[in-house]
Amino acid sequence: MSPAYRRSRAPSAFTGRLGRTRRGTDGLLDDLRGVILSGDAAPGVPIPLEEIAQALGVSPIPVREALKTLIGEGLVDHRPRGGYTVARITVAELSELYVVRGVLEQAALTAALPLATEADRIEAQAAHAAVGKALADGDMPGYHRASRRFHLALVAPARMHRLQRMLESAWNVTEPYRPMSQLSDEGRAGLHADHADMLAAFESGDTAALLAEAVRHHEELRRAVASLPADPALFADPGAPEP
pTM of the predicted model, to two decimals? 0.85
Within 62-208, strands assigned E span 76-79, 83-86
CATH number assigned to the domain covering 12-86: 1.10.10.10
Could you read off the pLDDT of 127-170 as tens digits, one per residue?
Answer: 999 999 999 999 988 999 999 999 999 999 999 999 999 999 99
Could you read off the pLDDT of 186-237 as tens digits, one per residue?
Answer: 889 999 999 999 999 999 999 999 999 999 999 988 888 887 777 877 788 7
- pLDDT at residue number 10: 43
According to CATH, the topology of domain 91-226 is Four Helix Bundle (Hemerythrin (Met), subunit A) (1.20.120)
Could you give phi then psi for residue 87, rounded to 5 degrees? Answer: -60, 145
Could you read off the pLDDT of 61-117 as tens digits, one per residue?
Answer: 999 999 999 999 999 999 888 799 999 999 899 999 999 999 999 999 999 999 999
Contacts of 176 (CB under 8 A, 6+ apart): 36, 37, 39, 41, 42, 43, 75, 86, 87
Can you say how many angstroms the Cα of residue 38 is from the centroid of all Cα atoms in its chain?
8
Domain boundaries along the sequence of the chain: 12-86, 91-226
